[in-house]
Structure 1
Amino acid sequence: MIHPSSLTRRTLIASAAAAAAGLALPAAALAPATDLAPLPGRPPAITPAERLARVAKAQRLMRAAGIGALLIEPGASMVYFTGVRWGLSERLTAVVIPAEGDAAIVTPFFEAPSVRQTLVIPAEIRTWQEDEDPLKLVAAILRDRGVATKPVAMEERVRFFASDGLARALPDARIVPGAPVVRGCRMVKSPAEIALMQHATDITIAAYAHVVPRVAPGMSPADVTKMMDAANRALGGETMFSLVLMGAASALPHGSREPQVAKAGEVVLMDCGCAVEGYQSDVSRTFVPGGATARQREVFAQVAHGQHIAFEAARIGAPAGTVDDQVRRYYESLGYGPGYAWPGLSHRTGHGIGLDGHEPVNLVHGEATPLAAGMCFSNEPGLYIPGSFGVRIEDCFHMTDAGPKWFSTPPKTIDAPLG
């Protein structure tokens, strides 16, 4: 993802470079997506009943593990269980899900009305004033729920000050990892979640169809990003990220600080995603304005086959890491690597996706978690040749009882990069 603060700088650098080269930036780079409209068929939001079922599942997992409660700070897991959309700050807002009974939310007194605006499940709200310790409030909730002597699980993104503060407020409690509970719920998506992810992907594919034909020599990454973000919004998505890499920068998977301008015969690599009701898409496309070279075509074909190998390797019950292993074995047979070395596939083959763009588990060597129906992954076995170019084709899939199913159709050739 390109850091927003770098976009203005990159636009200025690219504009200067284009002017020096005698190129005029196309007006399309700044044009709004006025010819686009929201895609029809937007799925409904996750219902309160489904969120309550998630809480009930978490409680079953806690009871089975002998855990008394789960503590969650703002982020995707808070949204997942309660609907509450909140940002992290130095003032603690947290959800306590006990192994039995209703959830409780701790938040500053003056924030409670705002927290209630997105809360969609029954939950007690306890507030604290600026001169009070919110972790003592959490400890009181655990005592009232009768679980103060049982292990308290921390969602993996809970900050140290919160876990440490609770340990001080409740010295007899044992703090344990909450990942087995949270992952046990979030890793397997429901049909409603998959429908939202499908719609987000449909929007991103439609945005690519709008943008890719408009990318022309002289454009900067910021110009293309602006077009892509506008298209995602016009089509009904919430823009999450638009990474655009050009020329030699495409060999660096997450970008370069060097100025970039689109040129005929050079690779443009786009990695973009949006969200619908918080559920994300993640799609990468690689193309060459003006036509690709023989070497660019060759690498693209190799990546396309690598993506096919990953898809075929994703079978119910297979350890997630074996998907990465099979792709890497093929690439090494071509002379890439070994392992994660350049030139080659320098990152994992894929990652989990849902409310977070990257979430457990990953398609990476050594990951033993077995694939199960409802799991969702990116499939992006890119090849990167430092100093030259990189190719990434990325499409996401979800596991069904019969095997993997694409959210989007992968392209076959670099001449038809939209699939």
Structure 2
Amino acid sequence: MTVGVGGSDFATELAGIRNQRDAVPPIGVEEHARRVERAQARMRELGIAALWLDGTTNLAWLTGLKHGQSERPVGAILPAQGPLSYLCPAFEVERLRTMLLLPGDVRGWEEDEDPYALFTEMLREADVAGGTVALDDMARVFVAEGMRGALPNHRFVASGPVTSHLRERKTEQEVAILRQAMGMTLQIHAAAARALQPGVTTTEVGEFLAAAHRRAGFDSGPAFSIVLFGEPTAYPHGVPYPQTLAEGDVVLIDVGAPLHGYVSDITRSYVFGTPTPRQREIWNLAKRAQAAGFAAAKPGAPCAAIDDACRGEVVKAGMGPGYKVPGLPHRTGHGIGMDVHEAPYFVGGNQQPLAVGNTGSIEPTIAIYGEFGIRLEDHIVITERGADWLTPPARSVDDPFGLEGRA
């Protein structure tokens, strides 16, 4: 029997979950103010006169305002010089003021008025009568088109060279929050594994994961939850029907939740029972592939090097090549932060150099349709020395959570 898998139940394991929310502090006002300063310096470096932040993660990361998007434009204008200002429907002005971490003028447009005319007026008041305006690259098309139509004499670019550039390079505090969130989710993974019994359904496991993340102190339940047993583990994003656990099944659980706005994301694959030689072979191959990706993750190396290294191990084992199945059907990894998938992406052909502060997943997924799949997902941070794991990788197919030898 795989060590740490089975032998308990969901009620017992849920009762053992402790709230760890306060183990690390959230991002404060001072850090958001520093982010604004860094964004403005970057804008001046690139010749960008103003930045529009829609109600997206970019707005939340930069200013701390978590509003979300709707059919009405809501967001902030950041000029390269000068203070922030906020735009929203007039009936939302007072509410928005209560939500601000960083001060700024809040301007509202009435329901029968043109929000893009107000946007134009606010730019003029910020002394941005012309030049280049960066539009939030997560903004909806109708907002971007409305702003372009209102300002035909301005040049528009995507915000990525400012927003993504800065968000990709995590500070020590951001890394600390991510490390804590990942560790909490890994503990929940281990609890879920202990609670497994024959006849348990994937739906029951999902309900446990949701309750456990809330009990542990995350901002909410899981941002996503993939629970698979047996042959469906071969499908990277799961199947639309529940499964029931049987002896000898491969179990794959991929789950994460936000802590202080930063999302965890851990996948563990293991066997309920005793691994067969075939299951052992493929699990060990995924482990070797993940280790090869980690070894390739060095500052200055292209993002593609991580994918190339992982995929190389799988091709050497006679699978693939490329994205063919049996083999690795998708990229090796993605950046992580306030979005579970964000730049940089660890995929073939991506020549963007890895930078100190980059965080992201190494998650080689070996899919064998008709049999099973194995995914081992942990996250790294790039340091000046190389890569550091944010959580310890799975130890072995017989002891995935590293329980043997513990005092």
TM-score bracket relative to the smaller structure: over 0.9
**1:29, distance to aligned residue in structure 2 (A):** 4.9
- Please tell me whether residue 244 in structure 1 is matched to residue 232 in structure 2: no
Match of 1:364 in 2: 347
**1:40, distance to aligned residue in structure 2 (A):** 6.9
Q: Which residue among 339, 342, 352 is the counterpart of 2:335?
A: 352
Match of 1:90 in 2: 71
TM-score between both structures, scaled by the size of structure 2: 0.93
1:270-289: CA deviations, max 9, x gaps? 00112111011110001111
SS in 2 for 1:117: helix
TM-score between both structures, scaled by the size of structure 1: 0.91
Q: For the residues of structure 2 that align with 1:236 and 1:401, how far apart are their CA atoms?
A: 32
How many pairs were matched up?
A: 394
Q: For the residues of structure 1 that align with 2:390 and 2:307, how far apart are their CA atoms?
A: 19
Match of 1:4 in 2: none
The amino acid that maps onto 1:281 is: S
SS in 2 for 1:33: helix
Match of 2:198 in 1: 217
Q: For the residues of structure 2 that align with 1:261 and 1:393, how far apart are their CA atoms?
A: 22
Deviates more, 1:409-418 or 1:397-406: 409-418
**1:148, distance to aligned residue in structure 2 (A):** 2.7
Give runs of ≥4 in structure 1 deviating > 6 Å. none
Q: For the residues of structure 1 that align with 2:380 and 2:94, how far apart are their CA atoms?
A: 39
- Please tell me whether residue 35 in structure 1 is matched to residue 16 in structure 2: yes
**1:404, distance to aligned residue in structure 2 (A):** 0.7
1:66-215, aligned counterparts within 5 Å?
66-215=47-196
The amino acid that maps onto 1:410 is: P
The amino acid that maps onto 1:327 is: C
Q: For the residues of structure 2 that align with 1:136 and 1:417, how far apart are their CA atoms?
A: 58
Match of 1:230 in 2: 211
1:241-281: CA deviations, max 9, x gaps? 22101111100000112441111101110001121110111
Q: What are structure 2's unaligned runs of at least 5 residues? A: 1-6, 403-407
Q: What are structure 1's unaligned runs of at least 5 residues? A: 1-25
Q: Which residue among 398, 401, 404 is the counterpart of 2:384?
A: 401
**1:32, distance to aligned residue in structure 2 (A):** 8.1
Q: For the residues of structure 1 that align with 2:195 and 2:110, how far apart are their CA atoms?
A: 54
Question: For the Cα contact (< 8 Å) 1:95–1:105, is it kept in 2?
Answer: yes
Match of 2:27 in 1: 46
- Please tell me whether residue 289 in structure 1 is matched to residue 277 in structure 2: no
**1:76, distance to aligned residue in structure 2 (A):** 1.2
Match of 2:405 in 1: none
Q: For the residues of structure 2 that align with 1:226 and 1:302, how far apart are their CA atoms?
A: 31
RMSD (Å) for aligned C-alpha atoms: 1.6
The amino acid that maps onto 1:163 is: A
Question: For the Cα contact (< 8 Å) 1:187–1:374, is it kept in 2?
Answer: yes
Question: For the Cα contact (< 8 Å) 2:200–2:245, is it kept in 1?
Answer: yes
Match of 1:17 in 2: none
The amino acid that maps onto 1:82 is: T
**1:290, distance to aligned residue in structure 2 (A):** 1.7
**1:28, distance to aligned residue in structure 2 (A):** 4.0
Question: For the Cα contact (< 8 Å) 1:244–1:271, is it kept in 2?
Answer: yes
Question: For the Cα contact (< 8 Å) 2:21–2:217, is it kept in 1?
Answer: no
Q: For the residues of structure 1 that align with 2:239 and 2:252, how far apart are their CA atoms?
A: 12
Q: For the residues of structure 2 that align with 1:114 and 1:212, how far apart are their CA atoms?
A: 44
Match of 1:271 in 2: 254
Question: For the Cα contact (< 8 Å) 2:54–2:76, is it kept in 1?
Answer: yes
SS in 2 for 1:308: helix
1:6-49: CA deviations, max 9, x gaps? xxxxxxxxxxxxxxxxxxxx994577823322127521111111
**1:413, distance to aligned residue in structure 2 (A):** 1.3
Match of 1:309 in 2: 292
Match of 2:3 in 1: none
SS in 2 for 1:391: strand
**1:305, distance to aligned residue in structure 2 (A):** 0.7
Q: For the residues of structure 2 that align with 1:297 and 1:112, how far apart are their CA atoms?
A: 59
With over 3 angstroms needed to count, the CA separation of the structure-2 counterparts of 1:38 and 1:29, relative to structure 1, is closer
- Please tell me whether residue 322 in structure 1 is matched to residue 342 in structure 2: no
Percent identical among aligned pairs is 37
With over 3 angstroms needed to count, the CA separation of the structure-2 counterparts of 1:369 and 1:159, relative to structure 1, is same
Q: For the residues of structure 1 that align with 2:202 and 2:373, how far apart are their CA atoms?
A: 16
Deviates more, 1:209-218 or 1:359-368: 209-218
Question: For the Cα contact (< 8 Å) 1:163–1:175, is it kept in 2?
Answer: no
SS in 2 for 1:378: strand
